[in-house]
Each structure stands twice: as C-alpha cells, then as structure tokens.
Amino acid sequence: MKTRFHWAPRRHILLAAELGLLLLFFTLRGNAAAMTWLVDHVTQPFKQGLSAVTYLVPIPLAELLYIAIGLVILSALICLPFALRRSDHRRRTLYLRLLSLVCFVLAMGEWFGLLWGINYYADGFQERSGLYAQPVTVEDLERVTELFTEELNALADQIPRDENGLFAVSRAEIFDGSATVYDALSQEFPFLAREDRAPKGDLFSRLLSAMGFTGYYAGMTGESVVNTDSPACLLPATIAHELAHQRGIASEQECNFLAVAAATSCGDPVYAYSGYLMGYIHLSNALYRADPELWRELRQQLAPEAELDIQYNNAYWQQWESPVDTVSQKVYDAFLKSYGQEDGVQSYGTVVDLLVAYY
C-alpha cells in the first residue's frame, strides 16, 4: 500500500479527501438543521452566483456537462485495455487508471450532492411555511376540485386557441412571462423570494418525452431546463415547478404544489390557466379514485376547451409509453429513494393533500 501511495501521492490524497467529504455527508444528512444551514448560507448563494454565469449562455450547459462526464468515463474504459497492452507495468497502470477514474466519479457525484443532493435533507416548503399536507375528506377534495373546475372554466375562453380549439400561446411568450410568476406568492411566503431566471429549453426535448419527463433542475450548473416539445398548455406550470427547484425546494410534490399556487396567483391568465389545469388534473385523478360518481358529475361541468387540452396532453404522453419510459421512471424512483424520498415517484400524489390544505 505504501508503494502504491508513492505511485501517485496527490491522487491518493484527493481520494482520501473525497472519502472524508462523503463520510461527512452521511454523518450530517440526518441533521436537518445542519443541512438547512448549509443550503441557506453556502450552496444556495453559490448556485445563484453560478447561475448568473451559466445563464449567459442560452443553451443548457448542464446537458453538455452530462455528455462530457459520460464521454470521460467511456473513453477511460475504452482506452484502458490499450494502455495495459502498451505498459511494462500493467498492475501499476491498471491501479493508477482505476484510481483516477474513481476520483473523477466521486468528484462529480459529490459536486452533485453538495449543490443539490443535500436539499433533500434540509427543511422543505412544509417545514418553512408551516403548511403541511394532511389527510383530506372526500367532501373537501370535492370542494377544491369544484373550485378548480370553476376557475378553469372562467379562464378557458381567455386563452388564445388554434383552429382545433387547443391552447395556442407561443412558447416564447410563455418564457417571457416567467420572471414574475412568484412575485405574489413570495409576499405570502417571503423565503420564496429571489431573482428568477427563466428556464432553458432542453436540447433533446423529444428524448425527455421518451423518458417521461417535462423538465429538470441541474444543481451542478444552477440551471432549470424544460421540455419544449410537450404540450404547451402545461408549460407555464412546468416552468413554475422548475422555478420552485431554483428556490432550493427538492421535494417534487412540494414543487408541484408551488407551481400551482404561484401560477394561479401571479395575475397572468396564461399562467393561471396552466396552474389550474395542472392542479385540476391532480385533484380530479384523486377524486376519481375516491368517488367515481362525484368525479363524473364535476367532469361534465368542465369547459370544452379545458377538456380538449387535457385530452391532447393525455394523447401526447400515451404515444411515448415504452420500455424506455418505464426504465427511466424506475431509475428516477430509485434516485429519489436514495435521497430519502421514500415514496419515490409516487410522492407526486402528495400534492393533492397540499392543494386541499391551502385552497
């Protein structure tokens, strides 16, 4: 071991530092107060400064970074046999190459963990706001679903539509309206206040659709990225969801709730319609499971324009149902669980309890 250390002392010191940092993370992750302090005073300010740089470039640098990381790992593995064949000290070459690769992978993983992973262990929206998801009665669920139905109906004919009656607001206009989405909600919950930067359109949006994603937040670069190929009717709400992640909120269900709450309160009818539509879909699905008859009665009251948008959205995602979508969702489910989100992707359903508690 001593001989191996002398082969590459700096790399061994780097590995020791990375393992020490990893140990510190696992030691502190159960301490919400410590994690919250790190998020509030270290990682969030750093990410805001980082995003000021990354947003100087219009395309998502995160995707270029992910591609570069993949290429580095792939090239290291491909080149390894050739390096061993040329080497006179194969054991030493193998050890040093693998040591470098392990150091690189750990560095990338810890970069992600420090800039985003720790948010899963810090206080989220519920702890900061005091508004908690609680079990709801069918009657309360019906009342809130009815409220969302009424609001959707009132807004449906205010939205520009194409010759088929579908939501037809341009994506450029939607992105332009994103800067003030959280202004009103931040007055109610001051910890949400921050300067917003509009999410970037994904370079591979159709690939995101195939994987079943509408967008993601890249903590490694401080960028929010959205799927611009998916139906535009839910794009404003999706943008609001990703802007919630920019505020350090990691929980997907909390970000879905915040997307609805911010979009419906911002004063922009396009965002309000999209927010109510997203909320209605969650609430309506829950009501159908709880009482199909009540669901049927309320669904019959829904404006035809909103019904068309929902049907179009459903048809869009149905075309992408495939093993790729299934595998990607299972991978994301495992990722959420690895960071303590025990409900995995099913945690999205918790947004209904938050919506009922709030509205």
Q: What is the per-residue pLDDT across 299-316, written as a single tens digit (0 to 9) for each?
A: 999 999 999 999 999 999
| Chain-centroid distance, C-alpha 228 | 15
Euclidean distance between CA atoms 145 and 352, whole angstroms: 10
**Residue found under tokens 């998502």:** 60
Coil, helix or strand at residue 134: coil
Q: What residues make up the domain containing 337?
A: 127-358
Tens digits of per-residue pLDDT, 96-121? 999 999 999 999 999 999 999 999 99
Among left, alpha and beta (phi > 0; psi -120 to 50; other), residue 213 is beta
* Structure confidence at residue 344 as a pLDDT band (50, 70, 90): very low
Q: What is the DSSP string of 251-263?
A: -HHHHHHHHHHHH
18, 107 Cβ separation under 8 angstroms: yes
Do residues 51 and 87 share a domain? yes
Euclidean distance between CA atoms 342 and 157, whole angstroms: 41
140, 357 Cβ separation under 8 angstroms: no
Q: Final residue of a domain: which of 121, 149, 180?
A: 121
Amino acid making up residue 94:
L
Euclidean distance between CA atoms 198 and 204, whole angstroms: 18
Mean pLDDT over the full length of the chain: 90
Q: Does residue 332 carry a pLDDT above 60?
A: no
Mean pLDDT value across residues 308-332: 76
Which of these, 94, 107, 105, lies nearest to 8 by C-alpha position? 94
Higher pLDDT, 337 or 320: 320
Which of these, 153, 135, 133, 132, lies nearest to 290 by C-alpha position? 135
Do residues 137 and 269 share a domain? yes
Q: Does residue 346 carry a pLDDT above 50?
A: no
Do residues 66 and 190 share a domain? no
Is the C-alpha dihedral spanning 277, 260, 267, 299 positive or negative?
positive
* β pairing state of 200-201 and 223-226: parallel
Do residues 216 and 325 share a domain? yes
Do residues 131 and 188 share a domain? yes
| Chain-centroid distance, C-alpha 278 | 15
Which of these, 320, 285, 130, lies nearest to 212 by C-alpha position? 320
Q: Final residue of a domain: which of 121, 150, 182?
A: 121
Beta strands in the chain (DSSP E): 200-201, 215-218, 223-226
Domains in the chain, number: 2
Sheet with 215-218, edge to edge strand ranges: 200-201, 223-226, 215-218
Torsion angle defined by CA atoms of residues 231, 232, 238 and 243, in that order, rounded to the nearest 10 degrees: 150
Among left, alpha and beta (phi > 0; psi -120 to 50; other), residue 72 is alpha
Q: Does residue 322 carry a pLDDT above 90?
A: no
Tens digits of per-residue pLDDT, 245-303? 999 999 999 999 999 999 999 999 999 999 999 999 999 999 999 899 999 999 999 99
Do residues 162 and 76 share a domain? no
Do residues 247 and 134 share a domain? yes
- Has this prediction a pTM greater than 0.85? yes
Do residues 43 and 176 share a domain? no
The alpha-carbon radius of gyration of the chain (Å, integer) is 23
Do residues 247 and 306 share a domain? yes
Do residues 113 and 195 share a domain? no
Do residues 90 and 201 share a domain? no
Q: Final residue of a domain: which of 65, 88, 121?
A: 121
User: For residue 161, what is the DSSP state?
Assistant: B
Backbone phi and psi for residue 78, each to the nearest 5 degrees, phi listed first: -70, -40
Number of neighbours of residue 12 by Cβ within 10 angstroms:
16
Q: Does residue 348 carry a pLDDT above 50?
A: no
Q: Which tokens belong to 176?
A: 């332009």
Backbone phi and psi for residue 224, each to the nearest 5 degrees, phi listed first: -100, 135
Do residues 147 and 262 share a domain? yes
- What's residue 341's pLDDT? 52
Q: Which tokens belong to 228?
A: 């611009």
Backbone phi and psi for residue 291, each to the nearest 5 degrees, phi listed first: -155, 90
